[in-house]
Amino acid sequence: MTFLSAIRVALDALFIHKGRSILTSLGIVIGISAVIAMVSAGEGARLLLEDRLSSLGTNLILVRAGTRSQQGMVADFAPLTGADARAIRDRLGHELTAVAETQMAQRLVSTPTAHHGTSIVGVTHELLLVRGWKMQNGRFISSADVKKMADVCALGTTVKARLFPHQDNVLGQTLRIGSLNLRVIGVMESKGHSPVGADQDDQVFMPLTTFQRKLAGEERLSLILTSTRTQAEIEKAKEDITQLLRQRRHLKPGNETFDVSSVYEIANLARIVTTVLQLLVGIVAGISLVVGGIGIMNIMLVSVTERTREIGIRMAIGATPANVLTQFLMEALALSLAGGLLGVALGLATALGLARLTGWPIVISPLAIVLASGVSGAVGVFFGYYPAWKASRLDPIQALRHE
């Protein structure tokens, strides 16, 4: 009997017991659909993360005051100072593209017709170099602006859209922060969201000196940003900066009151996390597939018992043990494959639905689909083997007497 006939015989038998076939394959359907949905969503999330990370610039190094556990909080002791930044620039400038100190605050920015709460960032001209950021319009803060404490600012595209909707050219316009009036000298190109979800276009840049003197009233750096020219130089640069600051503060290794981290290691961490998550997904899927497989085995055993007489008849008219084994194995395979394909379809539908809901990109991996189908087929064959083998070992005479 040919392979195709075997499939036909198996499909016929499954069709006859439609309801039971559907219920049996449910385990596999659910397992596979969960895997496909999670893999697609996971891949999409990873893609999104990579994209946002690259918008930051992967060679970026961030120097912050406060120890790791206190990230995000303003350090009350040993804040970073301009002197620190200068020291880094003087001693390590040759390893770095540039050193950009920043100080920031959340403030309300207003025009006569609109207002918007946003991040105000005091910067030097080096920020543009360090971040590799380009201007859409006009120019950025210059060293002259910093020297003069000029009352100027450069806008991110989100701020521009909020404060000056429907205007193409906003250069020369004025906006007000508190009692300070700033003239717009440039608009940044759009950068999108950072890896943690913050809108990088929702910022207003102004000269650091102006910020410190006229807005904040103190010198307390939030962040010193720097970068290396190549990825290979990142680790050394981090080490050197850490050593320098340790020396300046007379600290022993391990007692740092500051943190030097690179975007690169955040990216790596993110990749590790997603890999671990995907592994967990794989384990869960594996478990549900085993459960689904056991379900198939159970049903096939019941089926064999129920159809003992039928098997006896088939053997009497000439089915060999191999014929019987193949028939029941094909039935198990058809069950599991059908479940797998249904699971793939369901999983893709779920993934697409999720994408619509969260706005995240969805990655449909053909490899995952092929793998899922293959695995579900293998599950069917593996768990279906024992019942099929039992069926093939039946004695025709006993089987004919059955029931």
Which residues contact other proteins by CB under 8 A?
1-2, 5, 9, 12, 16, 309-310, 313-323, 396-397, 400
- Residue type for 318, please? G
**C-beta closer to other proteins: residue 274 or 308:** 308
Kindly state the smallest distance separating residue 31's Cβ from other proteins, in Å: 30
Give the integer Cα–Cα distance in Å for 144 and 99. Answer: 17
- Residue type for 9, please? V
**C-beta closer to other proteins: residue 13 or 297:** 13
**C-beta closer to other proteins: residue 371 or 400:** 400
367-371: which pairs have CB atoms within 8 A and are 24 or more residues apart?
A: 368/35, 368/36, 368/39, 368/40, 369/36, 369/344
**C-beta closer to other proteins: residue 8 or 86:** 8
Kindly state the smallest distance separating residue 331's Cβ from other proteins, in Å: 14
The answer to whether 159 and 204 have CB atoms below 8 angstroms apart is yes
Kindly state the smallest distance separating residue 289's Cβ from other proteins, in Å: 31
Give 3-state DSSP helix, strand, coil % of the chain, rounded to 5.
60, 20, 25
Give the integer Cα–Cα distance in Å for 41 and 97. Answer: 37
**C-beta closer to other proteins: residue 247 or 320:** 320
Give the integer Cα–Cα distance in Å for 204 and 214. Answer: 15
Kindly state the smallest distance separating residue 2's Cβ from other proteins, in Å: 8
**C-beta closer to other proteins: residue 86 or 309:** 309
Kindly state the smallest distance separating residue 301's Cβ from other proteins, in Å: 20
**C-beta closer to other proteins: residue 4 or 357:** 4
Kindly state the smallest distance separating residue 1's Cβ from other proteins, in Å: 6
Cβ contacts of 80 within 8 Å, gap of 6 or more: 63, 64, 65, 101, 220, 221, 222, 223, 224, 258
Q: Which of 61, 91, 53, 55 is nearest to 228 (CA)?
A: 61
Q: Which residues of 11-29 are buried (b: 16+ CB within 10 A; e: fewer)?
A: eebbeebeeebeebbebbb
Kindly state the smallest distance separating residue 320's Cβ from other proteins, in Å: 4
Structure tokens at 291: 């459960």
